[in-house]
Each structure stands twice: as structure tokens, then as C-alpha cells.
Structure 1
Amino acid sequence: MRVVSGEFKGRQLKSVPTHQTRPTTDKVKEAVFHVIGPYFEGGRAFDLFAGSGGLGIEALSRGADSCVFVDQQPKAIRTIHENVRLLNIKDRVEVFRTDAYRAIKAAGKRGLTFDYIFLDPPYKKFSYQELVEALLEHQLVAEGGVVVCEHDASEEIPESVGRLNLIKTDHYGTNIGVSIFQ
């Protein structure tokens, strides 16, 4: 697993040493950032169900100012900290070990908003509609912000949630789907 483009292009990232997470492939990362980027002039990222932190780190590499990483698994949190240390980006990140809904609520209480939100939960375990509704309820999606959902290709994704509309859905192979809301 590596950073595909930007400041840290080509740098190898550690992956979580468990079967409970599945890293986003380079092909999928490239496709996602081709739609939402490919490069940014600042902005804040929120990487929920972060795993190794690959999506948030890719956003930082492509110009995002900062990223908040959230995962519930201790091994994932350790891996994110290792990747942050390897890239020397500690001053640009916050890392939290908690449940996604608690993280959403906490970020809302802090008044945070995000330009790029990445949702990559375990496939078929969470409702994307409910996750996006929670992001909107706590006012975390900045005006013009995007929410990227990586999901099982067979999952049905709503056409809109609140003020956000589905702008693109693609499938990669037989089981990976990516849907982007704005």
C-alpha cells in the first residue's frame, strides 16, 4: 500500500495487521481523487473507519491542511500513528480510537466542519444513509464538501441524503463500490 500522488507520492504505508480491515486499493484511491480532487488548496478531511489511514493520508498528500482519523480497532490506531510518524505529519492530524457515531457527535460539539469525509466501514455493517444523516445533523459537512462512501458493490446507496446528492457511483471489480455525495 502506498500514497498514490502529491507530496508523499510513492511512500509506502503500513497496513493494519489483521483481517478486520481491508485497505482501499491504489486503483480505487486514484479513481476517488480523480473525481474529488485531484489536488486541493487546503481544507479539512475526516477519515472515519480509517484503518491504516490511507484515504486521509492521500488527502493530506494532495493538499488538505489537516485530517481527523477515527477507528475503533486498537491495531488500526497503532498503524495510523506509525504512518503519521513515518510521514512526519503529526502536526496536521488528530487520531481517535472510538465509535464512528461518538466521533461524529464529538466533532459536532467542537464545531468542526470538513471538506472531505471518507466513510469506509466494514461492508454491510452500517447504513450509509444513517451515517450521512448523522454527519449532516451535527453540521460536519462544509458547504461544497464531499462525502466518499466505499461499500460492497451490491449495496443500494440512496440518490440523496438531506442536502447532499449522489454525484457518482462506480464499481471496481465484483465487490467494491464507491459512491460520492456533494
Structure 2
Amino acid sequence: MRIVAGQWRGRKLVAPSGEITRPTADRTRETLFSMLTSRLGSFEELAVLDLFAGSGALGLEALSRGAASCTFVEQEASAVKAIRANIDALDARRQTTVQQASVMSLGPAKQPHDLILLDPPYGTGAGEVALDRMLRLGWIGPATWMALETGAKETVSIKGLDCVADRRVGKARLWLLRLASDAA
């Protein structure tokens, strides 16, 4: 696993030991960030939230491309250890916060984030449940973009959010979501 683009392009990342997590493949991450770049233009100064963070590859990719900060949320101890190792290797401590917790334990947000990245276990519906919760707790605002990775055959429908784009990449399906126009 490597950072695809930006200031840390080509830098290797460590993955959590064991089979508790499923790291997003480089090709899938490249496709996701291409989809986001075509809509955002730039990641400069974005506040990012990486949920079900695993190795932290998604959030670190956003930081490499210019995001101002990233909060990583992951409950598995081996994954948190990998996230911290990757942050240390990239000297990104000042831009990051790591929370070892369940996504479902997050409380109300102080303010909405610009970009929320979710890579939950496939086939669980955890991403939809998490986004519904994030919406109700103020993590999502009118300017927030959300990117959700699911299994290729899964569908996504979340009250209050619109699907802007989706794309299949191998065994994965990438979804870009925004606050519904009638909810903004």
C-alpha cells in the first residue's frame, strides 16, 4: 500500500496485522480520489473525517493532497497502532487526531466536516447507519462531501442524503454523497 498522489506520493503505508480490516486497494483509492478531485477541485484546507479508518490510508491520502486536518476513528487496537505508525512515518502528528472508538460512539460535532470518508466492513450496512448518525449529530453540513466504499453489489439509500455518483471498481463500489437539496 502506497500514497497515490500529493506531497507523500509513493510513500509506503503499513496495514494492520491480521484480517480484521480490509485495506482499500491502491487502484480503488486512486479512483475515489479522482472522483473527488473532479468535484472538489482541491483538497486544500479541508477538514477530513476518516471513519472505519483501518490503516488510515484514505485520510492520509487526503492530507497528502493538501487537506488541513484529519480525524481518524477506528475501534480495533491493531488498526489504531497501524494508523499511528503511518502518521509517525509521514510526520503528520500536527494535522491529525486518532480516536480509538466505535464510529457509533461519536457525540455531536462542534462543526460539520468538509469531507467524510467511510470504509466499513462490506455487507453490514454500517456505512449507512454511520452516515445517518453523522447527519443527525451535525457532522454533515451543506458543503460536506461524503465518500462511502461498499461491496460491488450493495446499494445505498440514506434519508436526507443524495447520491451524486457511484462507480464499481473490482469488488468495491464507491459512492459520493451530499446533503439532499431539500434538506440544505
2:103 to 100, 104, 112: 100
Aligned amino acid, residue 129 of structure 1: E
Q: What SS does structure 2 have at the residue aligned with 1:177? A: strand
Residue in 2 aligned with 1:89? 92
What TM-score does the superposition give when structure 2 sets the normalisation length?
A: 0.90
Cα distance in structure 1, aligned partners of 2:97 and 2:111:
12
Cα distance in structure 2, aligned partners of 1:48 and 1:138:
15
The number of aligned residues is 175
Residue in 2 aligned with 1:161? 159
Give unpaired runs (5+ residues) of structure 1: none
CA RMSD of aligned residues (A): 1.3
Cα distance in structure 2, aligned partners of 1:168 and 1:146:
11
Runs of 4+ in 1 over 6 A off after TM superposition: none
Cα distance in structure 1, aligned partners of 2:3 and 2:34:
14
Cα distance in structure 2, aligned partners of 1:31 and 1:79:
23
Q: CA deviation digits over 1:85-111, x for unaligned, max 9?
A: 0000101000011111112x2xx2x51
Instruction: Identify the structure with the greater strand proportion.
Output: 1
Residue in 2 aligned with 1:131? 130
2:67 to 45, 64, 84: 64
Q: CA deviation digits over 1:74-130, x for unaligned, max 9?
A: 000000000000000101000011111112x2xx2x513211101111111234332
Aligned amino acid, residue 143 of structure 1: P
Q: CA deviation digits over 1:37-93, x for unaligned, max 9?
A: 263121111001000000000000011100000111000000000000000010100
Cα distance in structure 2, aligned partners of 1:60 and 1:119:
16
2:173 to 171, 174, 177: 177
Give unpaired runs (5+ residues) of structure 2: 179-184
* Preserved CA contact (<8 Å) 1:56 1:69: yes
Q: What SS does structure 2 have at the residue aligned with 1:41? A: coil
* Preserved CA contact (<8 Å) 2:120 2:126: no
**1:31-70, aligned counterparts within 5 Å?**
31-37=31-37, 39-70=42-73
Cα distance in structure 2, aligned partners of 1:133 and 1:39:
26
Cα distance in structure 1, aligned partners of 2:148 and 2:43:
19
Aligned amino acid, residue 178 of structure 1: L
